[in-house]
Amino acid sequence: MNLFDAAKAATSILQLGSIAANAAGVIVDSLSSKEEVTDANKAKRLADKKIAADNKSKGGLSDTKKRIGANDYRKGGYVLSTVDNRKMKND
């Protein structure tokens, strides 16, 4: 079984990580044939794509947006407090 077939059949992140590492070793090795390098490139791309898809967010709210209360949409980014603490001037 070549690396690309192994990457297609892999189901766990650990398997994909080892396949990506083996593929990188084949790509760097100067004694590898052209077919082995092509197969390793395809396997590494597929393994990286599967790992990225598994690491993708599974939904839910982001870290910067609260479900309840005030949300701050100003240009400077999310700030923790929007309270105005300046002194009030009495006329």
**How is the chain split into domains, by residue range?**
3-55
pTM: 0.56
- CA 18 to each of CA 3, 14, 23, 45: distance values in angstroms, whole numbers, following the listed order: 10, 6, 8, 13
| DSSP 8-state code for residue 63 | T
| DSSP 8-state code for residue 88 | P
Nearest to 47 by CA among 17, 2, 14, 12: 17
The CA distance from 48 to 50, in Å, is: 5
pLDDT digits (tens, 9 = 90+) for 6-63: 888 888 888 888 888 888 888 888 888 888 889 998 988 988 888 888 777 665 555 5
pLDDT at 5 over 70: yes
